[in-house]
Structures are given as C-alpha cells and as structure tokens.
Amino acid sequence: MKDMGPLTYFLGLEISRNTQGYLLSQWKYTCDLIKLANLTDNKTHETPLELNVKYEKDDGDLLSDVTSYRQPVGRLVYLTMSRPDISYAVHVVSQFVEAPCTLHMTAVHRIIRYLRGTLNQALLFSSSPDLQLSAYSDANWARCPISRRSTTGYCVFLGQLLVSWKCKKQTTVSRSSTKAEYRVMVDACSEITWFWGLLIELGILLSVATPLYADNLSAIQLASNPIFQERTKHIEVDCHFVREKYTVGIISLPHVTSELQLADFFTKTMTSSCHRFLHGKLMLVHYPTSV
C-alpha cells in the first residue's frame, strides 16, 4: 500500500477541506455533463422540475436517438451521490429510459439547466462533534400516473450531516396514504437500525432514541399504539418492524409539520421558495470554483 496523501479526487468526486469540515462535490463531472447536453442557450432554472407536471410514457414523439437521452440520465444518476437536491427529478426521468419521448428530454434539459445555475454546490460534512441520529420520512401517495404506486422518500442525519437519502417508487400499490407512509417508515427504520449497528462497531453508543419525523398522524399512531394493530391486518407483517424498534427504544416518532418535512425534497416537485428553504437544510453549501 502507498500513502498518496489527503484525498482530493476519486472517481469524479472532489473532496476538499475548510474550517467547517469536508466538502464533497462533483464540479468537473457536472461541467462535463453540461457540455455533453450541448444546450444552445444560457438559461438556468431555480428548480429541477416544473411544478405539478406529471410525465407519462407517451409525452410527445419518441426520440430517434435513445442514447442522447440515456447517456445524460445515467450521468445524472451518478451525480445524485453529491447532489441530493436532484434526486427526485432524476428518479422521474430515469423511468423513461426504455422509450424516451420529446417531453422527457425537455425535463432532462431542465435538470441540466438547474445544475448550470447551481454549479458551485457541495455537500458539507461538518466537523461538529454532534453524533445524534435523526431521520425524516415521507411518501407521495399514488404519485405515479401510470401505475399509481407511491413514491418513497427519506433522509438520515448524523448530527447536522446528511449521511443517507432515498427516493424510490414503491414496489406495490398502497390503497391508503397511511399504508404508503408506513412503508416509508419501514425503509427509514431499517436504515436507522443499520447506522446504530455501525456506530456501535465504532465504539459510539447512542443514549437516546433516534427521532424519525413523519407528518402522517395515522402512520405514527399505527406504529406506537397497539390498539390499532387489529384493524390493520391488510398491512404485511414485516411492516410492524417499525413498532418493534419503537418499543425497544431505537426510534421515537415525533410529528413534524408538512412545511418542515425535509423528506418532501425526495417525493415531489415544489415551488422555488420551498426548494430554497429545504435546500439549505440538506447541508448543501456554495463554494468557490477554485476549491
């Protein structure tokens, strides 16, 4: 093995350090992606996706060259490693790589224009000594207009650090918003449990339960109140994994208002003002290109 000094660049990831902590970015990778798109204008957008637009399979004419769509989408998927703010938008456009249409390509170009306007963004890993875990989970019920499956979204913080996030379409159709929210809580709870095990291996013992913030009161009651169990036999047995972790004190289930639900970033489009507010909560910071 060879000591090559402090890590600065690895597989498109740029790592730098300042007084606040470590900065993880993909500036050069993003610049290459913008060049690949070969856009003929200098427009930028404040949000990655247009508000309240639902894309379907037959939105416009089929593209004659599917590679021109698949290549940037594939690169965008890799870019979500350091840019959680585009996770939902990339989740949407990646559903059409098999047979992309003109409107889908327009959505990809909008994401790239958003990246052009937010090029100097980095994910900050603060040097704060706070090692308390916290998480947010949310679901966009029946969001997909094609299959009516819900969208899962959660994020996990270690202190102020955003260490894990997910945006994914659920594998089955949920007949109620409570069921959709509960499924997300299962995924987030599994992630929290994994982090508990990792921290224990590192010799860090968490003294308090990890708050898993949710904005659906029915899902919270379902997990915390055993009286509700007899009414919910239609929910699979493994979903009650959440209640087990709640009972033993690994998680707590505080309610959070929809305005402060950080997981919304991974389940839906939003206005410019909401996007800016939540963007700052995800520890994405501006840094100079010389870094």
Distance CA 63, CA 101 (A): 5
Q: 14-33 in b/e burial notation, b at 16+ Cβ within 10 A?
A: bbbeeeebbbbbbbebbeeb
pTM of the predicted structure, to 2 decimals:
0.89
Do residues 131 and 140 lie in contact, with contact meaning Cβ atoms separated by under 8 Å?
A: no
Cα 270 from chain centre: 14
Which residues neighbour 49 within 8 Å (Cβ) at sequence distance 6 or greater?
A: 88, 89, 92, 107, 110, 111, 269
Instruction: Write down all domains in the chain, each with its CATH number in brackets.
Output: 9-123 (no CATH), 128-256 (3.30.420.10)
> What are the pLDDT tens digits along the chain (291 aa)?
888 888 888 888 999 888 888 899 999 999 999 999 888 888 999 999 998 888 888 878 899 999 999 999 999 999 999 999 999 999 999 999 999 999 999 999 999 999 999 998 999 888 778 889 999 999 988 877 778 889 999 999 998 889 999 999 988 888 888 888 888 999 999 999 999 999 999 998 888 999 999 998 888 887 777 665 545 555 666 567 888 888 888 999 999 998 899 999 899 998 999 998 888 888 888 876 644
> What single letter denotes the amino acid at residue 88?
Y
